[in-house]
Amino acid sequence: MKLDVKILDPRMADQLPQYATPGSAGLDLRACLDAPITLEPNAWQLVPTGIAIHLADPAYAALILPRSGLGHKHGIVLGNLVGLIDSDYQGQLMVSAWNRSDVAFTLEPMERLAQLVIVPVVQAQFNVVNEFAAPTERGEGGYGSTGKK
Ligand SMILES: O=c1ccn([C@H]2C[C@H](O)[C@@H](COP(=O)(O)OP(=O)(O)OP(=O)(O)O)O2)c(=O)[nH]1
């Protein structure tokens, strides 16, 4: 798909998010910082990415997800766990960087911090009912109701 992007920081002009391999699902988002920032243990900070996108079509949204390397090795994940970018959002993409580890982490300017995944969305209209049309095997079961093995 074609996606309109605004470059809000000139350093992003030649560093637009890219798919690292032909099969990549995520576009890496960079920390568009002027100087390194240190995230103390259990601290979080909103980090600018230097770009804005406009998906425009409500049949799409974008998700901001952690990078597995940063999350697993350094405990750098997202303060909101997942960022949801609405199709009508036109502001700067921001990443809530949360250091969930017990060691301080220094984030360098332009470091790849998180990833953006474009996903299809179906908007629902509610149809209020007293009973669902067809019973299912699961019914109201959940929270481990099918057992462990
Ligand atoms: O990690 C994120 C999450 C959200 N956003 C932007 C895009 C999104 O479309 C907008 C609003 O996000 P959300 O709906 O999650 O925020 P809210 O707390 O429900 O506030 P609002 O009342 O603005 O919807 O903020 C980001 O840039 N990064």
Domains of the chain, by residue range, sit at 2-118
pLDDT at residue number 82 = 98
Q: Whose CA is nearest to atom 7 of ligand 1?
A: 85
Does the model's pTM come out above 0.90? Answer: yes
Q: CB under 6 Å to ligand 1: residues?
A: 64, 80, 83-86, 89, 93-94, 96
When the candidates are 3.30.360.10, 3.20.20.100, 2.70.40.10, 3.40.640.10, the CATH number that belongs to 2-118 is 2.70.40.10
Q: Which atom of ligand 1 is nearest to the CA of 88?
A: 9
How far away, in angstroms, is 62 Cα from ligand 1 center? Answer: 11
Answer yes or no: is the ipTM higher than 0.95: yes
pLDDT at residue number 149 = 85
Distance CA 140, CA 135 (A): 10
Structure tokens at 106: 């220094």
Is 28 marked as a binding-site residue?
no
List, run by run, the mean pLDDT of 10-residue segments along the chain (149 residues): 97 95 97 98 98 98 97 98 98 98 98 98 98 96 92
